[in-house]
A and B are shown apart, each in its own frame.
Chain A
Amino acid sequence: MNCDQASEHLVEYHHDTLDPQTRDAMATHLASCGACARSYCRLQAELRGIGSAYAERPSAKARASLRKAVEAEFSTAPAPALWRALRRPVPVYGAVLAAIIPLALWMWSPSGSAAAEEPAPPAPARLHGYDATAPLVDPSVS
Chain B
Amino acid sequence: MTGHSHSDEALVCAIREGDLAAFDVLYARYEVRLFAYVRRWVPGRARAEDVFQEVFLTVLRDRTYDPQRGRFAPWLFTVARNRCRAEARRGAAESRALEAMPTGARTVDPRASEAADVRRAMDALPEPQRQLLLLKQVAELTYQEIATVLGVAEGTIKSRLHAATRAFRAQLRETETP
Q: Decide if A56 touches B39 in the complex (CB within 8 Å).
A: yes
Q: Decide if B20 touches A15 in the complex (CB within 8 Å).
A: no
Which A residue sits closest to B50, measured CB to CB? Answer: A62
Q: How many A-B residue pairs have CB under 8 A?
A: 115
Instruction: Digitize A22-51: 1 where CB-to-B-CB distance is under 8 Å, 0 elsewhere.
Output: 000000000000000000000100111111
Which B residue sits closest to A49, measured CB to CB? Answer: B118
Q: Cβ of B35: which chain A residues have Cβ within 8 Å of it? A: 56-58
Given contacts A50-B122, A54-B36, A75-B18, contact A66 B27 (CB under 8 A): yes
* Contact with B49, one of A46, A49, A59 (Cβ below 8 angstroms): A59
Q: Which stretch (B53-61, B67-75, B76-84, B85-93) binds chain A?
A: B53-61
Tell me the count of chain B residues lying within 8 A, CB to CB, of chain A: 50
* Contact with B27, one of A15, A55, A63 (Cβ below 8 angstroms): A63
Q: Cβ of A16: which chain B residues have Cβ within 8 Å of it? A: 143, 158
Which B residue sits closest to A65, measured CB to CB? Answer: B53
Whether B152 is near chain A, meaning CB under 8 Å from some CB there, is no
The smallest beta-carbon distance between A46 and chain B, in angstroms, is 6
Q: Decide if A58 touches B49 in the complex (CB within 8 Å).
A: yes
Instruction: Digitize B95-139: 1 where CB-to-A-CB distance is under 8 Å, 0 elsewhere.
Output: 001001000000000010011101100100000000001101110
State the CA gap A121–B69 with chains docked (Å). 72
Q: Decide if B39 touches A54 in the complex (CB within 8 Å).
A: yes
State the CA gap A54–B17 with chains docked (Å). 33
Given contacts A17-B162, A46-B169, A66-B53, contact A51 B140 (CB under 8 A): yes
Given contacts A54-B39, A56-B35, A76-B18, contact A15 B115 (CB under 8 A): no
Q: Cβ of B122: which chain A residues have Cβ within 8 Å of it? A: 50, 53
Whether B4 is near chain A, meaning CB under 8 Å from some CB there, is no
Q: Decide if B137 touches A43 in the complex (CB within 8 Å).
A: no
Q: Decide if A55 touches B36 in the complex (CB within 8 Å).
A: yes
Which A residue sits closest to B139, measured CB to CB? Answer: A51
Q: Cβ of B32: which chain A residues have Cβ within 8 Å of it? A: 55-57
* Contact with B115, one of A14, A53, A67 (Cβ below 8 angstroms): A53
Q: Decide if A62 touches B36 in the complex (CB within 8 Å).
A: no
Whether B10 is near chain A, meaning CB under 8 Å from some CB there, is no
Q: Cβ of B49: which chain A residues have Cβ within 8 Å of it? A: 58-59, 62
The smallest beta-carbon distance between A29 and chain B, in angstroms, is 19
Given contacts A50-B118, A50-B137, contact A70 B23 (CB under 8 A): yes
Given contacts A17-B158, A55-B32, contact A49 B100 (CB under 8 A): no
The smallest beta-carbon distance between A48 and chain B, in angstroms, is 7
5 contacts between A and B (CB under 8 A): A43-B165, A46-B169, A55-B32, A66-B56, A69-B53
Known: A50-B134, A53-B115, A74-B60. 7 other contacts (CB 8 A): A11-B162, A16-B143, A17-B158, A43-B169, A47-B168, A50-B137, A54-B40
Residues on A facing B (Cβ under 8 Å): 11-12, 14-17, 43, 46-59, 62-63, 65-67, 69-71, 73-77
